Chains A and B, each alone.
Chain A
Amino acid sequence: MNEQDRINRLSEAIDRLMDGKRPLSNDPLLKVARQLAHMKLQPRPTAHEKFEHQLTQWFGTNVLHFRRVPIIQRSLAALTLLAAVGASIALLATLTRIASTLPVASVSPEITPTLAILSPPLSSPTPTKFSVVTPTATAIVRTISTQAACATYSTIPTDELDHPCENEVTDKVVDDRDKADMNDNSTGEMTNLNQPDIQNGQVGTNQPDNQNGQVGTSQPDNQNGQGQN
Chain B
Amino acid sequence: MKTRRDVHFRFTNAIEGIVPESRLDFAKLFWEHYQRVYRYIRFRINDEVVAEDLTSEVFERAFRYRDSYDPTRSAFSTWLGRLTQNWVSNYLTHQQFRHRHEMPLDRDSEHLASGDSMLEDTIIHQEDMETMLACLEQLGERDRQVVALRFGSNLRNKQIAELMGLQENLVGVILFRALERLRACQDKS
Q: Which residues of A contact B (CB under 8 A)?
A: 3-4, 6-8, 10-11, 14-15, 18, 28-29, 31-33, 35-37, 39-45, 47-48, 50-51, 54-55, 58-60, 63-64, 66-67
Contacts and interface: CB of A to CB of B under 8 A. Distances in A.
A44 B183 contact: no
B118 to A, nearest CB: 13
Nearest to A46: B52
Interface residues of B, number: 44
B180 A29 contact: yes
Nearest to B110: A44
B105 interface: no
Contacts of A60: 23
A66 B48 CA distance: 27
Nearest to B48: A44
Contacts of B31: 55, 64, 66-67
B27 A14 contact: no
Given A11-B157, A18-B151, A32 B56 contact: no
A3 B177 CA distance: 11
A6 B176 CA distance: 9
Given A7-B173, A29-B183, A51-B56, 10 more contacts: A10-B176, A36-B151, A41-B38, A41-B42, A43-B52, A44-B110, A45-B114, A48-B34, A64-B31, A66-B28
A8 B183 CA distance: 19
A86 B151 CA distance: 44
Contacts, number: 99
Contact of A59 (B26, B154, B172): B26
A45 B186 CA distance: 30
A7 B38 contact: no
A32 B179 contact: yes
B132 interface: yes
A20 to B, nearest CB: 11
A47 to B, nearest CB: 4
A58 B150 CA distance: 29
Given A32-B179, A40-B129, A18 B154 contact: yes
B67 to A, nearest CB: 13
A51 B34 contact: yes
B61 to A, nearest CB: 12
Interface in B54-77: 55-56, 59-60, 63
22 contacts: A6-B176, A10-B175, A11-B157, A14-B175, A18-B150, A28-B183, A29-B179, A32-B182, A32-B186, A35-B132, A39-B39, A39-B151, A40-B129, A42-B38, A43-B55, A44-B52, A51-B34, A55-B27, A60-B23, A63-B24, A64-B31, A66-B31
Question: Which of A4, A14, A18, A37 has its CB near the most chain B CB atoms (within 10 A)?
Answer: A14
A208 B171 CA distance: 134
Contacts of A51: 34, 55-56, 59
B55 A41 contact: no
Contacts of A63: 23-24, 27-28
Contacts of A66: 24, 28, 31
A14 B26 contact: no
A47 B52 contact: yes
Nearest to B122: A40
Contacts of A15: 156
Contact of B172 (A8, A28, A35): A8
B138 interface: no
Interface in B20-41: 23-24, 26-28, 30-31, 34-35, 38-39
A53 to B, nearest CB: 11
Contacts of B154: 18
A6 B23 CA distance: 44
Nearest to B131: A35
